[in-house]
Amino acid sequence: MPNKIIRRPHISWSQLSMWENDPNGYKLRYVDNIPLPESQSLKIGKYVADELEKKVSKDKLVEFLRMFSPTCELREEEFNVALGKIMLKGFMDGFNPSIPEIEEFKTGINWTQGKVNKHGQLDFYALAYYLKYKSIPKVNLIWFRTARDSNGNIFLTGELPVIFPREIKLRDILRMSARIKKADKEIQAMYDFLNE
């Protein structure tokens, strides 16, 4: 009998998003452990996130953007909380527990308030906060605008960051809870099938 495939003991936003958008990609990434190629957009987002984690970046443009961004008491704040029997795990880009406020930093070409209002990662983090502290935090998405040059390369434009507030309501938290529970059942069914 082949070895049993062991499921990860938690669900992260990346896992949930991948499962909902591309179950085959989920299997490749999280079951078969095959790294998926990183897009240029993802690479620049990771670069900016890594630079922001440093007390001072050698990248002058990132330092300029930091000057006009909200100050966070905590950076890359890890959370592990239970939604019933489902463990949720993630890292908030910025967290201000004294307010309480979650800051999510994003690069990209076209963020709008409408896109921010539909971005599930903010609901996921607000749910995690709600499960731990029993209140709904303030949430902001801070956008560092990028563009493409004539060769298709992505770069930071250097424009001032745009801060999009996102009002999270209890219904948003309940919807995210339902999405996670549905995905958890479907993911478990896949593992059960693969282990038959």
pLDDT(109) > 90? no
Type of residue at 86:
I
Stretch 107-125: mean pLDDT: 95
Distance CA 113, CA 93 (A): 19
What pLDDT, on the 0 to 100 scale, is given for residue 2?
67
Stretch 6-33: mean pLDDT: 93
Mean confidence (pLDDT) of the chain: 92
pLDDT(141) > 90? yes
pLDDT(1) > 60? no
First to last CA, the chain: 10
When pLDDT is cut at 50, 70 and 90, the band that residue 157 belongs to is very high
Stretch 4-15: mean pLDDT: 90
Stretch 118-144: mean pLDDT: 95
Domains along the sequence of the chain with CATH: 39-79+88-179 (3.90.320.10)
pLDDT(40) > 70? yes
Residues 6+ apart with CB under 8 A from 29: 18, 35, 36
Type of residue at 2:
P
Rg over CA atoms, the chain: 18
Stretch 42-71: mean pLDDT: 86
CB 172 within 8 A of CB 102: no
What pLDDT, on the 0 to 100 scale, is given for residue 57?
83
Stretch 178-186: mean pLDDT: 98
